[in-house]
Structure 1
Amino acid sequence: MKSLRLILSNLIYFAPSWVFSSINILIGTWILYIPFIKLKFVLNDGEVGFALFFTALGLLITIPFIPKINKRIGVGTSTKIGIFLLAIAFNFPLLAPNYILLCASLMVVGVFSAFTDVSLNALTSNIEKREQQNFMSAAHGFFSLGGFVGAGIGSLFISQFSNPQLHMGIISVFVMITNLFLSKNYAFVVGDKKEKSTKNLSFFKSIKPLLVLAIIAFIIMFNEGAVEHWSNLFLFDIVKVSESKAGLGFIIFSLTMTIGRFLGDGFSQQLGSRKTIVFSTIIAFVGYLFIIMSSLTFSVLGFGLLGFGLSVIIPEVYRIAGNNKDLETSFAISIVSGIGFVGFLVGPVILGAISNFSSLVVSYVFLSILIIIAFGLGLFGLKKKVDNV
């Protein structure tokens, strides 16, 4: 909890943490209206997944340019611009008059999601080194908190907003105003200048030390993205709850993930990064066993365990990457977070395709298998020396 107190007592740490929250407030509000989008355009699960694929496409075409933009204008300015443009972009899908423009608008969301996420993680890593304070896990806790706020408060007031566009517009304005006020605390951060360069290495040689970390990040964020976008439909279609209760799984998932990340820096200090990742994947797997029981009580409990299990893995992966002695911190963070965010965006797409050909239950079984793979990579793929990170 030391890192949480640090964030709440100093705007240098709170400002970037609030960007994490802002991203997921936007996402959490958007996912409430996926059932609305599905009904509006009369889509099946496969068509919903295909539309979400364009979010991933936007990310993929953006990632190669992000490090260059960060280097040119600084990670602080990139983060400030990114969150403003992302807040605007999230309005487009709900305004789309047809399926084609829905896909196009989701690609725009993907572009600015990638730009904001990669820039923000590089910014957080640079502030950690600059201030010699660790707050990566707690900062990611604010991301989860944002999802809880966006989906939780949105679920309570969704009946008051007969116009989804109005709801999303109000949230976007709120995000832009708060970040305009706070961005002065990080906009001046440029990035690393005195670390080892990767210019003389080929791209594949430079990412080789990060490969296991990148795969773990991909798997975990694949799971996070899939749960964020399909937890509502799982409870609605499989468990057969009312629309007002469909967001309950994601709300509990976000709440336990928030708690886990606020406690994560303490777990890491006691267990080390590698053991923390291994134990966390076990908890996440048990969560999936509860979810696929497909009863309201067990499924909601499962989403809670899943959130707690996944909570600290991504911050630990970024922490290990940031401590790589052979690569620039910003480069390492950008590669791992970029590949991880690809997982976050393609997860919903692949889950939708599996659901369309079989069922959402099978989709969640597939997610549990990925967690087993992440467990194996953490146990056998990471060097034991990272226990001391």
Structure 2
Amino acid sequence: MQIQRTLKTQLQNDLLNSGKVIVLYGPRQAGKTTLSKMIIEETGLKSLMINADQLKYIDILSSRDLKLLQSLVSGYQLLFIDEGQRIPEIGINLKILHDELPELKVLVTGSSSFLLSDRVSEALTGRKKIHTLLPVSMSELAMDFNAFELNDQLNERLIYGMYPEVITTKNKIEKEEYLREITTSYLYKDILELETIRYPMKIRDLLRLLAFQVGAQVSMNELCNSLKLNRETVERYLFLLEQSFIIFRMNAFSRNPRNEVSKSQKFYFYDNGIRNMLIDNLSGMESRNDVGALWEGFIIAERKKKLLYEQKHVNTYFWRTYAGAELDFVEEVNNNMTAFEIKFKKPRLKAPKAWTDHYGNDFHCITRENFLEFVV
């Protein structure tokens, strides 16, 4: 099964027509290389495809030498560099190629956005277009499956997640082996290779703590105490995990600090399968005690993908008062607020009065019955 990706048309159009270096970010194993090769094949252009693990290319692509760079790409119309963050001086060399060989199309992928971004941002100011590819979205699966089929697959998506190979692998044992490989071999690779981590085992411990707290407010003090690390170190680890597309955070919404929680935050995983493997629980939905957390994390991650691919700039929050009233998800667009409660089964009929009194009645409850309207 070839999974269709929402980014494909825009990425291909930018590559062919923008006149800029195209940078494709995303977590490892999300399908960046597969998508790139598909696009390149469809262009029909003579293409040089480079894996940055190959040492024979690294010296030239980090040389700052126009003659060497010209010798490498001579006769090609398109240059593809996979895992470009592994090449020293990648930004300045891409700048040279862009400025001196303007007819050459360039596509670069990178898993560790924090490093690649540092190396390309300044050098390629005004010369790049950036796209982010996350694990497969429900909106992408909807290109091949109807609503009945998507609902039929839902429990599996909630347990095993949305990585391409997980979706295309039918055998559950093989799915588990693949997720285990990701969480042991790939998940921390960028961080441990590219950042000096004094306590590498603490990264996994931190992720496990967050995995058990999906949907709950996270206390930085509790994380620091549990990990026996100072706040600065924990904050740095969280930043690296976010930049590696493993987790994302959501802040509390408040315009009334006296009554509303304003400084708290929640953390979610981009993929349920990764979260479930971290806590060693791939049990079926019928035997789990964390269904609410699984559902909330899944819906919010899928909504995040949808907004990203539709290029909609929306501020997202959760909301809670000190008296205990709360909402799982709030979207703010042009100062207009829309509130959501996320329930797997029993719907919530209306927002808390403390919300409607101050922010209006635009409220929706996302359940298994209507979730496709929200994420597709």
TM-score normalized with structure 1 length: 0.25
More helix by share: 1
TM-score normalized with structure 2 length: 0.26
The structure showing larger relative contact order (alpha-carbon pairs under 8 Å, at least 6 residues apart) is 1
